[in-house]
Amino acid sequence: MARQRLDPDLESMLLFTDVGINILKGRRRQGGGRRHRLRRFVGEQSRTGSWVLRGVSTQIAAGESVAVLGLKNSGRTEFLRLAAGTLIPDEGVVRRRAQVLPMIDLGRAFGRGFTVRQNIYLLGGLLGLTPDKVESALPEIVETARLAPNIDKYLRGASALTRQKLAWAIAMAVNAPVVVADEMLVVGDVEFRKRCLAHAERLRTAGTTFLVSTDVPRKFEGLFNRAIVLHNGGVVADGALADGLALLRELRLANTAAGTEKDDIR
């Protein structure tokens, strides 16, 4: 888990103050001629960047369940990574009162050349679990992921669905007070998704704070009590879920209309 500086005296669980993140992109030099060919051959690049988010200020109270909404490339994933500390802002500051569990692309941390057991220790350690805690949680993790008979088999032959279930089971063993998830809060087949949602509801009832980016809010029906909508690098709405969903529909319609007009111009 990312090293997170905690502020136990913070009133909110998470506090964003004028936060901005600038993502650099590499671009090969274009053009013809011998000089340009040599530049491309040696991999010379020019560096350009753009502000994915800028001037973002918001706070998440303890026990809130917040849906992070927005169009594609609206900065939702970057917002979550900033909250979890796996991205450092270029401007402003993110403060945390308690440890944040980042459930973002966890499956990529698995090593297919390792066994299920070894991967549980690997990902569990990355999420902040000590070897002793992994050992005590091991039976429940493999039972939840339905991998008990295959615990000492290599993960390379496992399906993406199986890896998702395993990553989810390991993350849930952390019991963090704040969970930040990019769609991964509910994974797997229909039956497993129901179990995920039921478990998330139990955590919410117990006081866990959730910050979840999603394209399909209905997957988490009943979980959210607030929505943050991101657009053009900032927060354009922060309030009731119904209001956030209505604005998101308007943004999608406007985006579709703009695309149609562009096609008509062409």
Judge whether residue 206 has pLDDT over 90.
yes
User: Residue 121 is encoded by which pair of tokens?
Assistant: 């220790």
Burial tier of 152 (Cβ tally within 10 Å: 0-12, 13-18, 19+): exposed
pLDDT value for 222: 86
Q: What is the pLDDT of residues 43-79, one digit of tens each?
A: 655 556 789 999 999 999 999 999 999 998 899 999 9
Taking only the tens place, the pLDDT of each residue in 128-162 is 999 999 999 999 999 999 999 999 999 988 899 99
**Can you list the domains of the chain with their CATH numbers?**
14-99+176-265 (3.40.50.300)
Asked if residue 266 has pLDDT above 70, the reply is: no
Is the model's pLDDT at 96 over the cut of 50? yes
Q: Name the pTM for this structure.
A: 0.83
